[in-house]
C-alpha cells in the first residue's frame, strides 16, 4: 500500500516498464514462410490491392481499428498548457480506455505546433494511417477551428472528445433528470457556467435535441453572454441573447438547470436557493465541482445532482462515450461522426439507464441495489451492456445518414430509428 497518491501514480507509470501502452503483432512470424508473407515478397500483394482500391486498406491493414489520439498539449486536464510532451501520459491513458472498453487500438501522437494551421497540416498528412482521429486537450477557441477544418478535409471520423463526449453524456443524463423532475427540455430554463469547448458543444447539442436558445443563458468569466457585449468569439456570439442578466446570480434566479463546466466553488448557497423548484444541477468541474454535493443537498432537498467525480452518484464520465462512439463508427468504416451519431449515442445511454441493473454492475461498484431515479440517471462505466447498446446505435445513425462505407446488420432490442435519439 502507498501512503500518497503521487508515489503510487509515478510507480504505476514507471513499473515494470515505462508507460501504459505497447504494440503486439496479430499474425505469426516464426518461420521463413511467415516472414515472407509478413514482409517481402508477400507484402507486395496488399500494397498492389490498396493502390488499385484505397478501400482495401480496411481489409488488409489495421487502419479500420486504429485511432489517433492527438493533441498539442494546450489544455491538459486541469493542468493547462503543459506542452505536447508532458501530455503524453494522458494520451496513453486515453489509449488504455479505448482498448479496455471497446477493443480499439490507439497511437498517441503529441504534436509541437506553433499555430492551429501547423497542427491541422500535421494531422492531415498522417491521416491515411488511421480509421479515426480523436482530438484531445486542445484549448479553446483554437479547438473549434481545428476540428471543423479537419472534418472538412478528411474522410475519416474526427471527434473532439472534450467537446462532444462531454456534451453527449451530459445530454443523456440531463434528459433523464428532467423527466424525473417532471420537466421538459423545451421549457427548461438553462444556465451554463463555462463557455469553452465543453460548454459550447453541450449547449449546441441540447438545442439540437429541443432546448430553446432563448431559454439558455451562458456565463463566462466576464459574466452573462448577452447581445451587447463586444468581446465575444464567434462561438460565444452564437450563445448571446437579449437579457438584463449580467451576473451568474442574476442568471440562476428561477433557472431549472445549472450546467457547470468551469471551475471549483463558483456557486453559492444563495444562488442554488434562487433556482426554480425541483432543479437539476450538473456541477462538472473536476476534481472540485462548482458546488460540493454535500452543500448542495443540504441547501436543496428537491434537486437532482451530477458531478464529474466517481465518489458521488451520477458521474458524467466521458468513458461512457468515446470508446463506444468510435466503435460504432469504425464498425461501418464511417467517413465522419456527425450530429445524428451524437444524438444516437446520447439516446442509447439515456435508455440504458432506465433498465434493470445486472448484478455484475452492482458487484463492480460494491452496491446492493441501483435503479433509475435521482441517484442513477446515467449508466455506470463498467456496465458490460454499453458495448452492445451504444455502438450499434451509432452505426445505424451512420448508415442512415450516408456516412458509412459499409452496411452491417443491427440486432438487439432498443436499437432502431424509433429509439436511436433522445429527443422523442
Q: List, by residue number, the catalytic residues.
A: 39, 94
d(CA 69, CA 83): 15
d(CA 402, CA 335): 9
Beta strands in 119-220 (DSSP E): 132-135, 158-160, 190-193, 216-220
Q: Say if CB 129 and CB 63 are below 8 A apart.
A: yes
Beta strands in 231-272 (DSSP E): 257-260
Angle among Cα 423, 240, 246 to the nearest 5 degrees reads 115
Closest CA to 107 of 96, 97, 95: 95
d(CA 146, CA 144): 5
Q: Say if CB 192 and CB 240 are below 8 A apart.
A: no
Q: How many CA atoms lie within 13 A of 15 on its CB side?
A: 6
Closest CA to 151 of 329, 400, 337: 337
d(CA 192, CA 261): 7
d(CA 150, CA 144): 10
d(CA 21, CA 28): 21
Query: Would you give the DSSP letter of residue 156?
Result: S
Cα 37 to Cα 26, 31, 60, 65, 217: the distances in Å are 13, 10, 12, 21, 61
| Ramachandran angles phi, psi of 190, nearest 5° | -115, 135
Residue-wise burial string across 309-332, b where 16 or more C-beta atoms lie within 10 A, e elsewhere = beebbbbbbbbbbbbbbbbbbbbb
Amino acid at each position: 500500500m502507498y501512503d500518497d497518491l503521487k508515489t503510487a501514480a509515478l510507480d504505476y507509470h514507471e513499473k515494470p516498464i515505462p508507460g501504459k501502452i505497447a504494440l503486439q503483432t496479430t499474425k505469426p512470424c516464426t518461420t521463413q514462410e511467415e516472414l515472407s508473407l509478413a514482409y517481402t515478397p508477400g507484402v507486395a500483394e496488399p500494397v498492389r490491392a490498396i493502390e488499385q482500391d484505397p478501400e482495401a486498406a480496411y481489409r488488409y491493414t489495421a487502419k479500420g481499428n486504429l485511432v489517433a489520439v492527438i493533441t498539442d498539449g494546450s489544455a491538459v486536464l486541469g493542468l493547462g498548457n503543459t506542452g505536447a510532451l508532458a501530455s503524453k501520459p494522458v494520451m496513453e491513458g486515453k489509449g488504455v480506455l479505448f482498448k479496455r472498453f471497446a477493443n480499439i487500438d490507439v497511437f498517441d501522437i503529441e504534436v509541437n505546433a506553433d499555430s492551429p494551421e501547423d497542427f491541422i497540416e500535421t494531422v492531415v498528412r498522417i491521416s491515411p494511417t488511421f480509421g479515426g482521429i480523436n482530438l484531445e486537450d486542445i484549448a479553446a477557441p483554437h479547438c473549434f477551428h481545428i476540428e471543423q477544418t479537419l472534418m472538412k478535409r478528411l474522410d475519416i471520423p474526427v471527434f473532439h472528445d472534450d467537446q462532444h463526449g462531454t456534451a453527449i453524456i451530459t445530454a443523456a443524463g440531463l434528459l433523464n433528470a428532467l423527466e424525473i423532475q417532471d420537466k421538459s427540455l423545451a421549457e427548461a430554463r438553462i444556465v451554463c457556467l463555462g463557455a469553452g469547448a465543453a460548454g459550447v458543444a453541450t449547449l449546441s447539442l441540447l438545442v439540437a435535441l429541443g432546448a430553446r436558445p432563448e431559454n439558455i443563458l451562458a456565463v463566462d468569466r466576464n459574466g452573462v453572454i448577452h447581445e451587447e457585449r463586444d468581446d465575444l468569439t464567434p462561438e460565444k456570439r452564437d450563445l448571446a441573447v437579449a437579457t438584463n442578466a449580467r451576473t451568474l446570480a442574476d442568471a440562476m434566479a428561477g433557472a431549472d438547470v445549472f450546467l457547470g463546466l468551469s471551475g471549483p466553488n463558483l456557486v453559492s448557497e444563495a444562488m442554488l436557493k434562487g433556482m426554480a423548484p425541483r432543479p437539476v444541477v450538473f456541477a462538472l468541474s473536476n476534481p472540485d465541482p462548482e458546488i460540493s454535493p454535500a452543500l448542495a443537498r443540504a441547501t436543496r432537498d428537491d434537486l437532482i445532482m451530477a458531478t464529474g467525480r466517481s465518489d458521488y452518484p451520477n458521474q458524467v464520465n466521458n468513458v461512457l462515450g468515446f470508446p463506444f462512439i468510435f466503435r460504432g463508427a469504425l464498425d461501418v468504416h464511417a467517413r465522419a461522426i456527425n450530429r445524428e451519431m451524437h444524438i444516437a449515442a446520447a439516446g442509447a445511454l439515456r435508455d440504458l439507464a432506465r433498465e434493470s441493473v445486472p448484478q455484475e454492475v452492482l458487484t463492480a461498484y460494491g452496491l446492493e441495489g441501483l435503479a433509475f431515479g435521482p441517484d442513477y440517471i446515467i449508466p455506470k462505466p463498467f456496465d458490460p451492456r454499453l458495448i452492445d447498446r451504444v455502438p450499434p446505435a451509432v452505426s445505424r445513425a451512420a448508415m442512415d445518414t450516408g456516412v458509412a462505407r459499409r452496411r452491417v446488420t443491427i440486432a438487439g432490442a432498443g436499437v432502431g430509428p424509433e429509439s436511436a435519439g433522445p429527443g422523442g
